[in-house]
Chains A and B, each alone.
Chain A
């Protein structure tokens, strides 16, 4: 049984197609990188899968169930810029919001939720900052707070939209460690990812996109030069040269 099965998914913005006939299936417990050039539709794919955008066609199943049935088992971490960081909430409040989806209407989060949130803040190393207003965090800390909110949701499947964009090294390391640990608990995780240098060390699986699906499978099989060439086109050859050069220099070869 696949954790996520997408069949014949197509998305249009106005009348321009953004994603075209996407089909793939991902087994449970994988850390999956969604890779592709700018404008390839990586975020769009994620949004269409979790129902933030209505596709013009296609079917999405989570463990053979529909999104509606599985809503409480899905956690989404939006891009950091999508929220108002001046909003009057503390870091602890932000994390507690992760419990709102499973609380019934009219019920306010209680002691139990707050204790749980504090626990997750410890995991991402923000416990000491829990009472600060969210704008007082650095970019990496804000992203970690978002991760803690997602953990709070106790989901089966996690979707993260560019969690590593513009954050510091130690935050990136904390986050990737948490994600890897989650896959050991058989959670399935999708990450929109930009930095091609780290793909091989981070992800077991990749989905390679450029409006259509270029490849989906284990990283060592899909993350190949040939596939990257067809995803990134001419732009990629320059990147490839630069990477080779940097590898040569950093290992001291001439």
Chain B
């Protein structure tokens, strides 16, 4: 068992760990913009479009006789190749969209497959002509974090700092342009410049990222941390911070778990050579973070939404029971009350107990009746119901026979503010469309 801290200092472990973390950080930050611009496919296409350039970099390295020991020059050649190839891909996408009027999704797909195809063809050229460099080619396809060195980390570190500084400097412009493009044009935001910066940031994130997770899985790192972060905040700048944190976490855990699980497996199956690759593991962890957030985030997560829906259903049942007692105007038994509701006898008994606890109703022998507070609460519900009926019937001209069903729902939904607005708008009516009195406020 390695200590987690060791991953930052151990001479073999630190480069992959730091490299992956830098990569994930950059991709997550740029990913926030990609996600909010709703251009997820662009990340996917550009990462594939970088592949032929990466391989071309390797080919040039082979041509000038470099071996895979010359890590620094090789990395630079690959980065530069990938950068220009992705830019060419981007230019081609824009050309297809704007000049040939091809739909965005088609243009993205055409470029993705064309560029990737060229890349694969070039890769087989490397396999036969510069066999000693073929491992490099492979590592950019699915990523190979484990072979990263300190030189990679330094290059990625510089690029990451550049990306962060750029985002910080243009944060206000990026925000307003992503939110309201037309408005930003009217206040003189240099749209073309900001768009160009956005594209260059994506390309940089791609070329940093493909060494860790590869061109095939790269786009997941744009989208997963950003969509997870969106679940926790409604603030633009905080979204960057949270997404960046998730990115760092995924980068670290990907490395940590890949080493730990591999060692564990080697321990149980001493005769097999099993190792868990880092890149795919990073992507899996990012997907888990995203999935977890979609389910369990406090405000927008699915779980809490289900809880809130259940609470609302309970409130509806409670209010309906109060309404029944108010309408009948006499003490009722459990059976009587249940006859008006669509819950079973046990639920009704439970709800009656809850209402008793809140002192809205009281019990004498076998019957339940409204307390004074209960009467006020019930009258208020009936009032909302009937106000809404008046509004539907008189102002939206919905037939009198149809308004009851909608009001049945709205009486539980209308807020005090809306009630005030309705009252003023309808000039405080006294009768509903069925000629029933509306209780005063």
B-binding residues in A (CB < 8 A) = 50-52, 71-72, 74-76, 78, 82-84, 87-90, 93, 97, 100-101, 103, 105-109, 132-133, 149, 153, 168-170
Contacts and interface: CB of A to CB of B under 8 A. Distances in A.
B188 A90 contact: no
A71 B188 CA distance: 7
A107 to B, nearest CB: 8
A82 B36 contact: no
Nearest to A132: B234
A101 B187 contact: yes
19 contacts: A50-B186, A71-B187, A72-B188, A74-B186, A76-B183, A78-B182, A83-B179, A83-B183, A84-B38, A87-B178, A93-B236, A97-B175, A97-B180, A100-B172, A101-B188, A103-B172, A109-B172, A149-B183, A169-B425
Given A51-B185, A74-B186, 16 more contacts: A76-B183, A76-B186, A83-B179, A84-B179, A87-B178, A87-B179, A87-B236, A88-B230, A88-B235, A89-B179, A90-B234, A90-B235, A97-B175, A101-B188, A108-B171, A168-B421
- What's the dominant secondary structure at chain A's contact region? loop
The 3 nearest A-B residue pairs measured at CB: A101-B187, A133-B234, A76-B186
A153 B171 contact: no
Contacts of B178: 87
Contacts of A105: 173
Interface string B54-82: 00000000000000000000000000000
A122 to B, nearest CB: 17
Contacts of B173: 100, 105
Contacts of A83: 179-180, 183
Given A52-B186, A76-B183, A106-B169, A88 B239 contact: yes
A153 B186 CA distance: 11
Interface of B: 36, 38, 169-173, 175-176, 178-180, 182-189, 230, 233-236, 239, 421, 425
- What's the dominant secondary structure at chain B's contact region? helix
Contacts of A108: 171-172
A148 to B, nearest CB: 13
A106 to B, nearest CB: 5
Contact of A88 (B36, B170, B176, B185): B36
Nearest to B182: A78
Contacts of A51: 185-186
Nearest to B234: A133
A87 B36 contact: yes
Contact of A97 (B176, B182, B188, B233): B176
Contacts of B169: 106
A52 B188 contact: no
Most A CB within 10 A of own CB, among B176, B189, B234: B234
Contacts of B230: 88
Nearest to A101: B187
A44 to B, nearest CB: 13
A43 B164 CA distance: 39
Given A88-B36, A88-B235, A90-B235, A52 B185 contact: yes
B223 to A, nearest CB: 15
B413 to A, nearest CB: 13
A81 to B, nearest CB: 11
Nearest to B187: A101
